[in-house]
A and B are shown apart, each in its own frame.
Chain A
């Protein structure tokens, strides 16, 4: 069973639909008992960082997730805001603390070229920096759907396994041991998105 963490943000239905389409058993839940027995976790999210953390805290999920993910090393995939929340802190609408699972900060996208609009919305190429279980069957430079105004800046460069170009290099995929994060939305990226998600479900 794949637990899709419901903390009130994110298009849970699409993620669940994609997991189901790939043959997995999705469960949209915020119950700690469910998260503990899940084979893998997905942390989706669309919205603001501070708000996301507040909602996780309110549900008592911060400690529980940290235990499951960091201590028990359960595989987890963070999507968009979900990936950003894994960082230490963000400066979106003021300074906010994140889950602190990875040494990274969330900063606003600020392309040098004024012709580049923010939020970064649409299909962009994901460059693979290294091989990964997530990338099986996904060609280098494959297009994924991005929609975000903030990016994850990793202190540890080795964590960044996929990037995209938008006036600057942006973290597209990160991985550290059992932690995976995508800035784009695999559940909204059709063929390649589903492949990547499939890879997470099977080999993540």
Chain B
């Protein structure tokens, strides 16, 4: 294989509840993080997700954060959470997002993926897939904050999303969200091998070895973490040194 120079990415994921940074556990806002230090200069890319439940806050708070991030961080910004219409997409792009992440809306109306791709380009559309693992080891795509079963197989759905125009897949293992046990690389690999677009994996980042495993075993193009302590310059540098030493090409 030709030497690949494209770096693997470390992506910080901010989950915002009514505009405030929250930690989530199995998709429920668990508790708020206080004033924090997302280091604007060390991250490769930022994902900001609005996890505000219906009626629990307003969109304006989230958009304020997006605008702030777009101003301060000169790295790509992908935003999502409750995106259901082209209007929602436009609002996020105008606020400063480079890419828009869609989840439930894509499952419920797959043409939505194509609509966005045709208007803004495939590179603008990230389809987010939340997968739950059943006792028998099979996986199922869940929507609506991981509460609604769809009967869909994540790999098949990812492949279809690619055909419809998705530029990237953002894949989360629901049970692992907020845990520190490591990514579900069986799931990751299954989905990554089913598509030829980049797959960003999330759910379970605890230590740098987990990142390493997600890249090598999970075939991820990018690893995502919501753990606030992974966002500091020292932590990011520490993680990247670990990965570099292990032979994984990352941006330093």
Residues of A within 8 A of B (CB): 9, 11, 13-14, 17-18, 21, 46-48, 51, 81, 112-125, 143, 145-149, 164-167, 185, 187-191, 193-194
Contact = CB atoms under 8 A, between A and B. Distances in A.
B233 to A, nearest CB: 13
6 contacts: A11-B98, A13-B70, A112-B2, A115-B1, A143-B251, A164-B5
Contacts of A13: 70, 94-96
B119 A47 contact: yes
Contacts of A18: 74
Contacts of A123: 6-7, 9, 44, 251
B6 to A, nearest CB: 5
Nearest to B252: A143
B159 to A, nearest CB: 13
Given A47-B119, A188-B76, A117 B98 contact: no
Interface residues of B, number: 40
A46 B122 contact: no
A126 to B, nearest CB: 10
B5 A165 contact: yes
Contacts of A145: 45, 75-76
B155 interface: no
A142 to B, nearest CB: 10
Interface in B4-23: 4-9
B198 A149 contact: no
Interface string B70-91: 1100111000000000000000
Nearest to A146: B6
Contact of B221 (A46, A113, A114, A121): A121
Contacts of B124: 46-47
Contacts of B118: 48, 51
Q: Give 3 closest A-B pairs by Cβ, nearest first.
A: A47-B121, A123-B7, A123-B251
B6 A120 contact: yes
A51 B7 contact: no
B242 interface: no
A9 B75 contact: no
B228 interface: no
A9 to B, nearest CB: 7
Contact of B123 (A17, A21, A51, A148): A148
Nearest to A197: B74
